[in-house]
């Protein structure tokens, strides 16, 4: 089978507590947000996840999309995360890993699955081991989110961010890299998002001088650094009730649109799509016409 994007990552039983103390529960996770955003952007997606069988129902919303094929692998537990937002702009939050599904391996992708991009859509360190980046690179262009490389669960479940020790070793195997502003600062020590993107791209320069495309999200905008140029687009949500999943949605929409569009058009598309998604909890549920109108 041939796919545009193969995505690997956990679904998550999310508990969300906003800055006013209001609590809500929903299924989320990078895999769910990413696969639906990419499919609605027209990509043919293979989504591979691991969860307890009683939570496979979380995938029903993804099954509604003809562009998504799902492989759900049984795990003793389903990943569950509690997010406590500390500010109205939802830039600061405390997260706690309540339970975790089993980690992934290269063998979880069927041998007959041919794909253009492999998106490692992780939620925390260890879900998608670092060595998968190099191991899977011969099978497709690797896209990876910094969240799954930096956010590490402590013994008490608290999730803390630390630098990625293997960044110099594995970045040359990455074609697309995404971080938010805080993650970019942890990686590079730089608060300037443009300079951080350039530094990350330089780490990924391969033997032929090709650098990965680097995306950095922020509460007001998203930027991408491609072939020495910065491209940017604003976020324009009317509210932040659907803020959870912002980075996953933006990155997946960019990857899908980038298959047939230039970086400038792709970052504008991704920012517009995610702006609409942030106005409603859960995965993106709009149409391409909605996205074009927002652009």
Nearest to 233 by CA among 201, 210, 198, 257: 257
**Quick check: 53 pLDDT over 80?**
yes
Q: What is the mean pLDDT of residues 202-208?
A: 92
Which tops the pLDDT comparison, 209 or 171?
171
**Quick check: 185 pLDDT over 80?**
yes
Which stretch of 13-22, 34-43, 257-266 has the lowest confidence by average pLDDT?
A: 13-22
Q: The domain that contains 51 carries what CATH number?
A: 3.40.1190.20
| pLDDT reported for residue 147 | 95
Residues 269-295: tens digit of each pLDDT: 999 999 999 999 889 999 999 999 999
| C-alpha distances in Å from residue 209, one per residue of 118, 201, 227 | 21, 11, 10
CB neighbour list of residue 138: distance below 8 Å, 6 or more residues apart: none
Give CA–CA dist 271/36, Å, rounded: 15
pTM of the model: 0.93
| pLDDT reported for residue 66 | 81
HSE (side-chain half, CA atoms, 13 Å) at 101: 30
| pLDDT reported for residue 91 | 66
Beta strands 221-226 and 213-217 are antiparallel
Count of domains forming the chain: 1
Under a CB-based contact definition with an 8 Å cutoff, are residues 133 and 146 in contact? no
Q: What is the mean pLDDT of residues 155-163?
A: 93
Give CA–CA dist 13/184, Å, rounded: 27
HSE (side-chain half, CA atoms, 13 Å) at 270: 36
Q: What is the mean pLDDT of residues 20-31?
A: 87
Q: What is the average pLDDT score of the chain?
A: 94
| pLDDT reported for residue 295 | 96
Range of the domain at 143: 2-294
For the chain, what is the radius of gyration of the CA atoms?
17
| pLDDT reported for residue 43 | 97
Nearest to 268 by CA among 287, 284, 253: 253
% residues pLDDT > 90 (the chain)? 84
For 116, phi then psi, to 5°, come to -80, -40
- How big is the chain, counted in residues? 295
Residues 87-126: tens digit of each pLDDT: 776 667 788 999 999 999 999 999 999 999 999 999 999 9
Q: What is the mean pLDDT of residues 67-71?
A: 95
Nearest to 271 by CA among 289, 253, 284: 253
Identify the residue whose tokens are 């991408």. Answer: 224
């Amino acid at each position: 089978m041939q796919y545009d994007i193969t995505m690997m990552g956990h679904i998550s039983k999310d508990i969300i507590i906003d800055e006013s103390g209001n609590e809500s529960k929903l299924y989320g996770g990078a895999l769910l947000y990413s696969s639906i955003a990419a499919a609605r952007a027209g990509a043919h997606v293979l989504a591979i996840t691991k969860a307890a069988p009683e939570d496979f129902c979380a995938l029903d919303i993804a099954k509604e999309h003809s562009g998504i094929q799902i492989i759900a692998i049984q795990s003793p537990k389903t990943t569950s995360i509690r997010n406590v937002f500390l500010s109205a702009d939802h830039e600061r939050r405390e997260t706690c890993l309540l339970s975790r599904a089993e980690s992934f391996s290269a063998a979880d992708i069927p041998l007959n699955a041919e794909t253009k991009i492999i998106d490692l859509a992780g939620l925390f360190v260890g879900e998608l081991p670092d060595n998968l980046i190099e191991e899977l690179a011969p099978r497709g262009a690797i896209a990876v989110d910094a969240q799954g490389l930096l956010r590490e669960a402590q013994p008490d479940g608290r999730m803390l961010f630390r630098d990625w020790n293997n960044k110099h070793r594995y970045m040359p195997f990455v074609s697309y890299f995404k971080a938010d502003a805080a993650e970019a600062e942890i990686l590079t020590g730089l608060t300037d998002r443009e300079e951080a993107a350039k530094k990350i791209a330089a780490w990924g320069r391969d033997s032929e001088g090709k650098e990965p495309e680097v995306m950095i999200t922020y509460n007001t905008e998203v930027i991408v650094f491609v072939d020495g140029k910065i491209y940017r687009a604003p976020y324009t949500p009317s509210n932040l009730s659907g803020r959870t999943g912002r980075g996953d949605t933006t990155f997946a929409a960019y990857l899908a649109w980038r298959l047939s569009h230039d970086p400038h058009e792709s970052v504008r598309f991704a920012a517009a799509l995610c702006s609409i998604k942030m106005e409603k909890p859960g995965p993106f549920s709009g149409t391409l016409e909605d996205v074009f109108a927002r652009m």
